[in-house]
A and B are shown apart, each in its own frame.
Chain A
């Protein structure tokens, strides 16, 4: 790497630690995404190899995840999004609801904190939550709802907008608790996998990308979730000819404006407000949209999910230039979504994750698992320590 292409690791360390301590009130509207902020910040530290918490801190953090977020009913185990909706110790209330995304973030957080969650979380009971969340009929059959409602008659009902993201989350949880390693006969609460696959395939479009609804606009975020989910379910992506156009669609997400196909006016502006030179090398999530830092991860991650060699199909050097020179914040640390925004934990972690998908930054950065989105260190811990008896 040339000197202009450098990572400001010390700054990033401070950035992530700042987010883990105290957040200003303007972030209170992010309250229900707090587990996401924790996940991005802890893994941010892990990926830059600056995860330096003491044993005491680690234990406190682990306990606070369980105390604030774990829901353990007679029927299922899951995690809630916001701690203060927790039921009182002596009496559970109707609106203390489980959340699928919060459940995945919690497991990932516990892993990076090196907590053997197999001691506290019953695999069949968390799978029961997934099973209840899987949608059994209608146009979204096979997918999962973000949450469950408790009705007066104590039956749970699916609630919330569903799409491929929820399938990805469910497949990740199933993988993290190693349910796929049990004998099929032992998986007493397994989800219906063929249904998940057919739901995902129903969201595949003619251009090769995936969308949230049938025949909706192909979107890179959903496309990553589709591919990673299929991979986590051991589906053979490369052999499915119906998925043959996805690589073409993915590589076309990298933004460039070669002259004279794209012309500028006297003010050096293109004739379209969504085209701008600072985006060159970045990735957009849909055709004719702005580039955004996070899509660098969703695109490279998708390619790597399909085939480890495919990250080389994109132009890595311009991707690095965009991430390191345009959106890396050299003053505050962190990365922003575009050159005009403030850095945030999500884009910071995903930028670093994108950089670590290749070997070019292996000195500074830990590896990343392209489907589970956990660092090399936490993956080692997971492989070795998370064991459910068969």
Chain B
């Protein structure tokens, strides 16, 4: 977009004139001029090329303000602009300012509009068709620079849902790549869970088995990792499986003999999540004494920062014991 638009006829709205005010911002001249012109056009409901240009400048300065986005969207639709060009523009803005969160919601609106307007076209139309895979490079670039960007992952979920990409090979490959690149990337694990378990008709005995194998092998690679344990526990909860099925698996990370020795050696435990799971398994099969013992170990030796919490969990088990014996 060029900046040879002429605004000579516009009287910029003066900003920052109220006195007194709290948190008075000392705007610089560029801000005052841009916002002044933007406000003047917006109040006049001017929908023009130069107005479109000034919204871009406004968004660069004040990305968090909804109204500028709304005005820009109105201009686009009234001028019947090419929406694919707008998607390209969004990509540039996103890459330039990673903290620009409004852009993702706006992009959804643009895509929704593309779908809506292309649906109106008659068959044989030369109009470009929207292809959801066009989002992949920009999302990959964004996640490459911040692999845990919450807004980008949320947007990715929206895309998957919208275009039913749950079983899309490229999508599955991408999330697999993210997990293997960083086993502790909680966002990536969460996205995998979404792909595999959000749709009931995609869950089969075989898929559950595969996912259990997948996560268990990655827990074995890195046992002290909340993200993979969450994934495992999530499957158990979703499928209504008994926790005791995990006992043998947990014991891969807990050396019960050394634990019994109680010699303050940490060698006995390779994963706090396995230890906590063990306490729950013991509780599930009403082995209260051992459950209490494990909570004790967590609170006094292995996870002392949470000692009060483990005491509280222990006291809950003790209440059950008290209730059954008296």
Contacts and interface: CB of A to CB of B under 8 A. Distances in A.
B226 A313 contact: no
B179 to A, nearest CB: 12
A60 B21 CA distance: 8
Interface stretch (A70-78, A180-188, A206-214, A371-379): A206-214
B23 to A, nearest CB: 5
A123 B147 CA distance: 45
B61 interface: yes
Nearest to A61: B22
Nearest to B233: A206
Interface in A135-163: 139, 146-147, 149, 159-161
A38 B22 CA distance: 7
Interface stretch (A25-33, A230-238, A328-336, A357-365): A25-33
Given A215-B198, A254-B306, A288-B184, A206 B230 contact: yes
B157 interface: yes
Chain B binding surface, main DSSP class: helix
Contacts of B35: 84
A190 interface: no
B270 interface: yes
A22 B24 contact: yes
A388 interface: no
B14 to A, nearest CB: 8
Contacts of B22: 20, 38, 41-42, 61, 64
B70 A149 contact: yes
B15 interface: yes
A62 B196 CA distance: 53
A261 B190 contact: no
A261 B226 CA distance: 13
Contacts of A248: 309
Given A160-B66, A217-B150, A315 B306 contact: yes
A173 B305 CA distance: 37
B66 A147 contact: yes
B28 A93 contact: no
Most buried by A among B225, B269, B308, B309: B309
Contact of A261 (B15, B157, B187, B270): B270
Given A31-B25, A94-B45, A262 B194 contact: no
Most buried by A among B154, B158, B161: B154
B227 interface: yes
A299 to B, nearest CB: 12
Contacts of B193: 215
A159 B269 CA distance: 51
Given A97-B67, A160-B66, A207-B234, A23 B23 contact: yes
B238 A206 contact: yes
Nearest to A20: B22
A286 interface: yes
Nearest to B235: A206
A34 interface: yes
B18 interface: yes
A269 interface: no
Contacts of B264: none
Most buried by A among B70, B158, B193, B266: B70
Contact of A93 (B27, B43, B70, B187): B43
B55 to A, nearest CB: 11
Interface string A6-24: 0000000000000111111
Interface string A214-231: 111111000000000000
Contacts of A315: 305-308
Nearest to B184: A288
B141 interface: no
Contacts of A267: none
Interface residues of B, number: 72
A84 B39 contact: yes
A272 B184 contact: yes
Given A28-B25, A216-B153, A206 B237 contact: yes
A28 B186 contact: no
Contacts of A161: 101-102, 104-105
A318 B157 contact: no
A214 B193 CA distance: 11
A300 interface: no
Contact of B62 (A31, A67, A251): A31
A97 B15 CA distance: 17
A95 B26 contact: no
A23 B43 contact: no
A10 to B, nearest CB: 21
Contacts of B185: 288
A89 to B, nearest CB: 13
B260 to A, nearest CB: 19
A259 interface: yes
Contacts of A60: 20
A314 interface: yes
A84 B16 CA distance: 7
Given A41-B23, A64-B20, A161-B105, A287 B227 contact: yes
Interface of A: 19-25, 27-34, 37-38, 41-42, 60-61, 64, 67-68, 81-85, 87-88, 93-95, 97, 99, 139, 146-147, 149, 159-161, 205-207, 212-219, 247-248, 251-252, 254, 256, 258-262, 272, 274, 280-281, 286-289, 312-315, 318
- The 10 A-B pairs with the shortest beta carbon distances in the complex, nearest first, are A206-B234, A256-B305, A32-B65, A84-B15, A287-B186, A217-B190, A161-B105, A25-B28, A287-B226, A288-B184
20 contacts: A19-B23, A23-B24, A29-B62, A32-B62, A32-B64, A32-B65, A68-B21, A81-B65, A83-B21, A87-B43, A99-B66, A159-B70, A206-B234, A248-B309, A252-B226, A252-B306, A272-B184, A288-B226, A289-B148, A313-B312
Given A84-B16, A215-B157, 15 more contacts: A25-B25, A28-B61, A29-B63, A30-B25, A32-B62, A38-B22, A93-B42, A94-B45, A206-B233, A219-B150, A251-B309, A252-B226, A261-B271, A288-B186, A313-B306
